[in-house]
Every structure is written in structure tokens, then in C-alpha cells.
Amino acid sequence: MWKAGYCLPSPASDANHFAPDSSLYLNIDRFERRPDLSYAGYALDDIMMKMTVIGCGDAWGSNGRSHTCFRLDTSGGCLLVDFGASAIVAWNRMGFDLREIDAIVISHLHGDHFGGLPFLLLQSQFEIRRTAPLAIYGPPGLRTRLDQALEVFFPGVAGRGWRFPLEIHEIEPGAPAEVLGLSLKTAQVVHASGAPSTAIRLSGRGKTFAYSGDTEWTPALTGIAEGADLFIVECYSGDRPVTGHVNWPTLEANLGVLKAKRVAVSHMSDSSLARAREMSRAGVIVLDDGLVIDL
Ligand SMILES: [Zn+2]
């Protein structure tokens, strides 16, 4: 059941109240597990690249959206982009299994984008007893920050070692890398996180997924988005400029310079959610948790 208010606005609600176009959304029930969303046995060669929104909320979980996590299924495996603090809850609610994950790419080191990793690692260690390797990619500083987060939440655990091979890859912004057969390109963006914050572009087999990470509007985004089958851009503010984040008036003014085939918005605060109808009219996909897009 959706929370009342956003998806089922009362007739008295104002015209800008968020009323998503139902054709863009899965009819997902957030409070039921969704075994039909499991891809076990799916012919991945036929998918090429499938993106599932595990979470697309802002740091405060506005509208009940979970912290950022995008699942990409490709012929090379299952790749996650970001794993925010509440992503593990959304993951389990959707009926997925952490063993499905082959690799994770982290855009930047804020808790709503990487803070779920301690929970993921501990469930993998103690509950599902993972044996397969897990590779995590992110900006310089990832290893130290992850160790610190583990130590804060679960003191002493990180030093004991993992029962599965855990690879941590720190990628300098702009340095090319390869993840599960996809080429990974990052670009530094404008967002203070105590380490470089990056936008991400993953390409392979003629498909490209691109994501802004968290950032103010920056020309770096046009290069990341160019020609992408899907470009997800954060749009935290619906109106006023906010340091370190995109606002809707700026994004709307720059839609023409984004040469992506599809543009979608995530990381929306209440002020941004209030402009969702306007965004849809401008041709932008307003993400929500559970949405699936075939690239
Ligand atoms: Zn951030």
C-alpha cells in the first residue's frame, strides 16, 4: 500500500501535488515482498542492461523513498550503483538476495550512498555465508571510510577478515576502469563529501547507463550523459539553489544540452517532488523505488 498523499492525492490537493503518471511506474507494493522481481533464471543475454531502482530517495528518505541504490543486470552479472544506508531494507523487501550481487560502484562517500555497505557485508558474512568474491569500486578514500563505518556500527568486525574475497578498488576520477565487462568512466563533480565525489558512466554491448551522483550543476555532467541510454540526475531541490545539489529550474534550463536518450531524476526532496508533474511534462522520468527500465 502506498502512503496516502503522494500517489493518491485528494481532489482538494493543489495542482503541483505529486501525482505520478502510472504508465511510468511499476504497481509495486512497498510492503510486500516481490519474488517476481527476482531475476534468477532470467536470460541475461536478452536483457543487455536492465536497471531496477532499489532506492532513489534523498538523505531524509522523503516520501518514504529508500536511500540511493540502482541495480544493473547485464550479461556480465549483477552490478549495484551506490548502496545507501537503507538500501538493504529495500533490497530485502523486494525479495532479492545479496548473493546475486557481483560488484558495487559507489559514487561518493556519504551515508545515503555508501552507508549500507556495513550491513551488506555483515549479512554476507554471518547470515548468508557468502563464498563468492565481491568487488566494490569507489573514489579514493573508500577503503578507509568503509573501515571507519564498520568500526562505528560493529566494533571489531572489520579486523576479523571476511569469509569471502572482498576486493576494494579506489578509482581516481577520470581514470578508466572495467567492472563486470563494462567500461567504467567517472568524473569529479561538485559535492563536498570529504573525498572526491563522482558522476558515473557504465558502458558495454552498445548500452550506456549514466548517473550524476550528488552534485551541483556542472559541465562535467554533459560528458557523462552524452549518448547514454539512461542518464539519472539528482534533483534535490524543486526551486531554490542548494549548495552541492541540482535544482529543477537549473536542470530544466539545461535539458537541451543533455544528449542522453532518456533523462530521469532521483534524490528528490519534498520541494522537488512537488514539481514531479511538471518534470514529467518536460519529458523527464521521475524515478521511484521499484521502477524497472530496460536500457
Ligand atoms: Zn551526497
167 half-sphere exposure, CB direction, 13 A CA radius: 12
Q: Is residue 15 part of a domain?
A: no
User: Range of 242's domain?
Assistant: 47-294
Q: Given this model, what pLDDT does residue 75 score?
A: 86
Cell (9 digits) for 61: 528518505
Q: Given this model, what pLDDT does residue 30 score?
A: 41
Q: Quote the ligand 1 centre to 108 CA distance (angstroms).
A: 7
Q: Residue 42 pLDDT more than 60?
A: no
Whose CA is closest to 153, among 182, 125, 119? 119
Q: Residue 257 pLDDT more than 50?
A: yes
Q: Quote the ligand 1 centre to 267 CA distance (angstroms).
A: 9
Q: Quote the ligand 1 centre to 79 CA distance (angstroms).
A: 20
Q: Quote the ligand 1 centre to 278 CA distance (angstroms).
A: 25
Q: Is residue 26 part of a domain?
A: no
Q: Quote the ligand 1 centre to 197 CA distance (angstroms).
A: 8
Q: Quote the ligand 1 centre to 189 CA distance (angstroms).
A: 11
Q: Given this model, what pLDDT does residue 205 score?
A: 82
Q: HEC states along the chain?
A: CCCCCCCCCCCCCCCCCCCCCHHHCCCCCCCCCCHHHCCCCCCHHHHCEEEEEEECECCCCHHHCCCCEEEEEECCEEEEECCCCCHHHHHHHCCCCHHHCCEEECCCCCHHHHCCHHHHHHHHHHHCCCCCCEEEEECCCHHHHHHHHHHHHCCCCHHHCCCCCEEEEECCCCCCEEECCEEEEEEECCCCCCCCCEEEEEEECCEEEEECCCCCCCCHHHHHHCCCCEEEEECCECCCCECCECEHHHHHHHHHHCCCCCEEEECECHHHHCCHHHHHHCCCEECCCCCEEEC
Contact 250, 230 (CB under 8 A): no
Please give the model's pTM, rounded to 2 decimal places: 0.87
Q: Quote the ligand 1 centre to 59 CA distance (angstroms).
A: 8
Q: Is residue 136 part of a domain?
A: yes
Q: Is residue 89 part of a domain?
A: yes
Q: Quote the ligand 1 centre to 19 CA distance (angstroms).
A: 26
Q: Residue 290 pLDDT more than 70?
A: yes
Q: Residue 218 pLDDT more than 80?
A: yes
Q: Given this model, what pLDDT does residue 206 score?
A: 87
Which residues are registered as beta bridge partners of 201? 185, 210
> How many helices (H) does the chain have, and how many strands (E)?
9, 14
pLDDT 10s digits, 142-195: 999 999 999 999 999 887 889 999 999 999 999 999 999 999 999 999 999 999
**Residues making up the chain, counted from first to last:** 295
Q: Residue 12 pLDDT more than 70?
A: no
Q: Is residue 67 part of a domain?
A: yes
Q: Quote the ligand 1 centre to 58 CA distance (angstroms).
A: 9
Task: Collect contacts of 152-158 with beta carbons under 8 A, ≥24 apart.
Answer: 153/118, 153/119, 154/118, 154/122, 157/122, 157/125
| CATH code of the domain covering residue 110 | 3.60.15.10
Instruction: Name which of 1-15, 25-39, 243-257 the model is least confident about.
Output: 1-15
Domain count, the chain: 1
Regarding beta strands 103-105 and 77-81, do their DSSP bridges make them parallel or antiparallel, or are they unpaired? parallel
pLDDT tier for residue 7 given thresholds of 50, 70 and 90: very low
Our measurement of the distance from residue 89's CA atom to the centroid of its chain's CA atoms, rounded to an integer in Å, reads 14
Instruction: Name which of 32-46, 137-151, 279-293 the model is least confident about.
Output: 32-46
Tell me the average pLDDT across 66-71. Answer: 98
Q: Given this model, what pLDDT does residue 47 score?
A: 52
Cell (9 digits) for 207: 548500452
Tell me the average pLDDT across 56-74. Answer: 96
Q: Quote the ligand 1 centre to 192 CA distance (angstroms).
A: 7
Tell me the torsion sign for CA atoms 57, 60, 66, 71.
Answer: positive
The mean of the pLDDT values for the chain is: 87
Q: Is residue 33 part of a domain?
A: no
Q: Quote the ligand 1 centre to 43 CA distance (angstroms).
A: 35
Q: Quote the ligand 1 centre to 46 CA distance (angstroms).
A: 34
CA distance 178 to 262: 24
Q: Given this model, what pLDDT does residue 26 score?
A: 46
Tell me the average pLDDT across 209-224. Answer: 97
